Structure 1
Amino acid sequence: MMDDEAVEAVRNRAAAGDLPAPATLAAVMEAERTIGFPLTPLLRRLYLEVANGGFGPPQGILGVRGGAPQADWNDLAELYQEGPDPSGLIPAGLVPVYDWGCTIWSLVDFRDPVGPMWCNHEGEIWPQGINLAEWLVEAMAGRLTVHSILDSEPAH
């Protein structure tokens, strides 16, 4: 099962001691209220059982309150509220979790429990064709890069 593979990969990274402690249930529930959608089961499990963000691609995904920040953002609920998309083109429930730089964001679709991944770049948004578990495994193995993300962008 891909979710278990993703959890194992994050647990191995956490064992190295470079990830924050797991999130509190209160912080997870607060994020869900703020976002208006439940976290995907995998992301909820990772935050509560393994680490409050900091895993995945090199700088690590955002955590919930009290977890791993990224760039100017302290947690994913704050980012979702204030967001990197002033155009309002990102549908409700697509939650930015990782900033690749150069206005390239990976987002998780909280509307689907599997957590399909999307990309937002310069006002364009498109599905990445993988789910959160696959995305995490590929990112932690070094096979998911900003270039592979942009290669998935549909032709105009």
Structure 2
Amino acid sequence: MTDDEVVEALRTVARAETLPPPAVPEAVAAAEEAIGFPLPPLLRRLYVEVANGGFGPNEGILGVSGGAAQGNFADITELYQDGPDPSGRIPAGLVLIYEWGCTIWSLVDFRDLAGAMWVNHEGECWPQGVNLAEWLTSTLAGTVTVETLLESQPTS
């Protein structure tokens, strides 16, 4: 799917569900400044044009300030600034956006314009082999699960 198709698919979901309103551009800019990397263009569009988080799997991804929270996590900036990985195993620029439970997180690589997706589980971090558009499309189709994330972990 193209970025435009992903945006439109999530707009359709947003019309059918109660999602937060879109983020104000200032909140997105503040997140980029705090994180130290620009948001991948698709994620920026989704936050500003569709909803400030809340879309994606189950209760949806975290937003930027003022958007969708997940559990005790208010937004991607707060989580990034709090240092989610004191072991240092999560490289700078990988931003946690969705917690699956059982210490399994999906992360977006802000260093990559396509937003390569990563997985973090119990301190181990590895690329998932898909970009943000593919990940969102798969979550809408229900084909990304905890099991598929763990299956993507490279064997030693």
The TM tier, using the shorter chain, reads over 0.9
Per-residue CA deviations over 1:95-131 (Å, capped at 9, x if unaligned) read 0000011111110000010000000111111000000
Report the TM-score when normalising by structure 2: 0.97
Match of 2:13 in 1: 13
Match of 1:64 in 2: 64
Q: Structure 1 residues 49-58 or 7-16, which shifts more?
A: 7-16
8 Å CA contact 1:116, 1:131 repeated in 2: yes
1:2: how far off? 2.8
Taking the TM superposition and a 5 Å limit, the aligned residue runs for 1:2-151 are 2-151=2-151
1:33: how far off? 0.5
Partner letter of residue 70 of structure 1?
Answer: Q
> Structure 2 regions of 5+ residues with no counterpart?
none
Per-residue CA deviations over 1:47-93 (Å, capped at 9, x if unaligned) read 00010000111120000000000111111000111133121111110
Q: Hey, what's the Cα distance between the residues in 2 that align with 1:109 and 1:129?
A: 12
SS in 2 for 1:8: helix
* RMSD after superposition: 1.0
Give aligned-pair identity as a percent.
67
Report the TM-score when normalising by structure 1: 0.97
SS in 2 for 1:53: coil
Number of residue pairs matched by the alignment: 156
SS in 2 for 1:33: helix
Partner letter of residue 57 of structure 2?
Answer: P
* Superposed structure 1 runs of 4+ greater than 3 Å apart: none
